[in-house]
A and B are shown apart, each in its own frame.
Chain A
Amino acid sequence: MTSFVSSHTRACSLPLSELLDGVSKLEKEGSDSAVRICFLRNITVEGVEPFLKFHCLTAGIRPGIIFGNYDMVLQEIMDESSPLHHNPPDMVVLSLVMEQLDPGYRSCGWQGDRVINELESLFELLAGRTDALLMVNTFIPPFDGEFGVTGHDWNTDTSGEISRVNRAIRAYVAAHRSRFMLADWERIARLHGEDGCMDYRFWYMSKAPFKKQFLNSYAWDIARSVKALKGKAKKCLVLDCDNTLWGGVVGEDGLQGIALDRNSYPGNIFHEFQRTVLTLHERGVLIVLCSKNNEEDVWEVLDRHPHSLLKREHLSAWRINWNDKATNFRELADKLNLGLDSFVFVDDNPTECDLVATTLPDVTVIRVPDKLYLYPRLLLKDGLFDTLNVSGEDRQRARMYQTEAQRKDAARQYDSIDQYLSSLALVATIHPATSGEVARIAQLTQKTNQFNLTTRRYAEGEIARFLSREDHGVFSLKVTDKFGDSGLTGVLIAVREGSVGRIDSLLLSCRILGRNLETVFLHHCLALLEAAWGVKEWCGEYLPTRKNRQVEDFYDRMGFAVTAESEAGKMYQLPVTRRESPDITYITIEE
């Protein structure tokens, strides 16, 4: 049983020549998406490239990496002929060291104010000149204080000033988090220390300041953002119970006998692990139990153990029974409308881990480590659940999935599906997207894999630009029913090209499927656009991926005719005069 090892950990242990060899092998394999990354830098930072390639390719993303000219950051931004403009990247990474920004740095009495102002202007300039996501770095404080150990003004020495600059950068990124991300060099330096980070030899010889451990962690942070951008974030955490959520076996040891007490070992480890689980729940990750127990034993712990942080209300679903876990997983995926590749499974039992890993290879399987002290931070360390921007919908998602489970139970009581759908009192709110919806829309384009006709991923800047253009139409769908509000869960993007309207993107979150909302949404948007644009004909596309088979005949079902078909996808066409709005009475449309 090989347990999950992140590419961060693997790359760290490989000699450079083997890493390069590994990268060239991975490059020969297929990948399901691509990303363009442009570094603007005042140092030699090309050493990051093999690590970044390794992390991206391992995640199935093919990176195209370019480096702007050495120490020509402003020129690259301003020059219309630079790659930044003629081949726009998805992500721009600024790699800046203070030694190059300010020649006076490290001299006595140095202050950071001028650099703070310069950086903020630079960030604004860059944000205005590109639609890409922007990653900026913090600075590494000096490892040696200039005043030694004896008293001086610690607030205004170089370390204090660097802290101030870093605080300003962090505040800027937090205030612009829809566009900016942080590569926290200060944190990476803390992680590996001076010996693991600083390559003074190549700094003085070639302005290449970093050793491989640093470069690996830096690349890892960039790759985490890329994976979030490309919708690779995991969405659901499935947990075993005995020896996973607590120490011991509750069915044998009883409520008093299990280890979960935060004041004693090893209960404190499991208690802290539960805290990590709650942190992920806060971020919108669905928490699910899948264990072989008597259900009432598990509830007794969650409801009554004084040190159990995890409670029943945190759970989106559970399978507490004696069936095999692979079967339970398939049921859970179906119930939650999620692909198995968005699942992370934690279990202590090697046999269970192996069963799930071999029968359901898309699931990320993590075994509780033998070195139990490594367990509490395990889930946060590898960035499995990173998303670009935690939105209000993320935080509400767990609750919405619980309502979804109630809906499915309700469905069983009705004879016909229409009768059931009528009872739901469905209301679809469809209107041209507003600027307040841009973040959520971009997030949906990045994360939606299954009901997604073209799987085009867009950053917020791009969506915002579509909103400002008259030949682009962006529509949002919100759904409520008697059980609650599902929030913004559908997006349609159309482009007017002369007398033809092209449907660029159409996607719906899986949790609202099965109610014919997609039919109503499509036709309502097209009707609104026909009135506004006066187009004669609609053109639709289906671009197949591993995940979106369920929509391969969607346009056929909507009355479109195939005009071209190849491995790359299908093109469809529908004259406006032939389009018939559906007669679906159980959905009320509002604008």
Chain B
Amino acid sequence: MEANRLKQVMARIFGVDVSAIGDDASPDTIENWDSLRHMNLVLALEEEFGIELTDDQTVEIMSYPLIKIVLSEHGIEI
């Protein structure tokens, strides 16, 4: 459920189909994942989950597994 929610947000930000967001999604697997869209990803995750990422976290979330870890640090289990 929460995984779908996360993948849906990522799909919209990167302009791809949800099915393209695999469990290993990263800039290596998603061509559109550039520095500009990374900013949008930060903003969209904060909006979607009602959290505020720390400065370090905004840089750390460079893959789907890393996003899951950072979200769990905010008490959101995917």
Interface residues of B (CB under 8 A from A): 8-9, 12-13, 15, 35-36, 39-40, 43-44, 47-48, 55, 58
What are the 7 A-B residue pairs with the smallest beta carbon separation, nearest first?
A: A17-B12, A15-B47, A17-B44, A16-B44, A17-B9, A21-B12, A20-B12
Per DSSP, are chain A's interface residues mostly helix, strand or loop, or mixed? Answer: helix
Binary CB contact string for chain A from 17 to 28 against chain B (1 if under 8 A, 0 otherwise): 110110010000
Inter-chain CA distance A15–B50, complex, in Å, is 11
A15–B48 contact, CB under 8 A? yes
The count of A-to-B residue pairs whose CB atoms sit within 8 angstroms is 35
Question: Is residue A206 contacting chain B, with contact meaning CB distance below 8 A?
Answer: yes
Query: Nearest Cβ in chain B — how far from A287, in angstroms?
Result: 42
Residue of B13, B35, B58 near A17 (CB, 8 A) is: B13
State A16–B8 Cα separation when bound (angstroms): 12
What is the CA–CA distance of A46 and B43 in the complex, to the nearest angstrom? 14
A201 part of interface (Cβ distance < 8 Å): yes
Of all chain A residues, the one with the shortest Cβ separation from B53 is A201
Q: Which positions 420-479 of chain A face chain B at CB distance < 8 Å?
A: none
Contact flag A201-B58 (CB < 8 Å), given A17-B47, A206-B35, A206-B39? yes
The complex places the Cα of A233 from the Cα of B39 at a distance, in Å, of 35
Flag whether A47 is at the interface (Cβ < 8 A): yes
Bound-state CA distance A484–B60 (Å) is 72
A275 touches B (CB below 8 Å): no
A414 at the binding interface (Cβ < 8 Å): no
One of B12, B15, B39, B43 near A18 (C-beta < 8 A)? B12
What is the CB-to-nearest-CB distance from A197 to chain B, in angstroms, rounded to a whole number?
A: 15
When the two chains form the complex, which single residue of B13, B15, B39, B55 contacts A208, counting CB atoms closer than 8 Å?
A: B39
Which residue of chain A has its CB nearest to the CB of B38?
A206
Query: Which of chain B's residues have a CB closer than 8 A to the CB of A205?
Result: 55, 58
List 8 A-B residue pairs with CB atoms under 8 Å apart, sorted by A's residue number. Answer: A15-B47, A16-B43, A16-B47, A17-B8, A18-B12, A21-B12, A201-B55, A205-B55
Q: Given the complex, which residues of B lie within 8 Å of A201, measured CB to CB? A: 55, 58
Decide yes or no: A15 and B44 within 8 Å by CB, A20-B12, A20-B13 being known contacts: yes
Given the known inter-chain contacts A15-B48, A201-B55, A205-B58, please indicate yes or no for A24 contacting B15, CB distance below 8 A.
Answer: yes
Q: Which residue of A lies closest to B45 (CB)?
A: A17
**Chain A residues in 8 Å Cβ range of B40:** 16, 20, 47
- Proximity bits, A186-214, B CB within 8 Å = 1, else 0: 00000000000000011001101000100
CA distance in complex: A18, B39 (Å):
16
Judging by beta carbons under 8 Å apart, are A16 and B13 in contact?
yes
Find the A residue at minimum CB distance from B37. A46
At the interface, yes or no: A44 with Cβ under 8 Å from chain B? yes
CA distance A20 to B37 in the complex (A): 11
Select which of A18, A46, A212 is within 8 A of B36 by beta carbon. A46
Residues of B within 8 A of A21 (CB): 12
Alpha-carbon separation in the docked complex, A390 to B11 (Å):
45
User: With A and B bound together, what is the CA distance between A18 and B44 in angstroms?
Assistant: 9
- The reply to whether B39 and A202 form a contact with Cβ atoms under 8 Å apart is yes
12 new A-B contacts at CB < 8 Å, known A24-B15, A206-B39, A212-B43: A15-B47, A15-B48, A16-B44, A16-B47, A17-B8, A17-B12, A17-B13, A17-B44, A21-B12, A47-B40, A205-B58, A208-B39
| Residue on A nearest B12 in the bound complex, by CB | A17
A17 and B38 CA atoms in complex are apart in Å by: 13
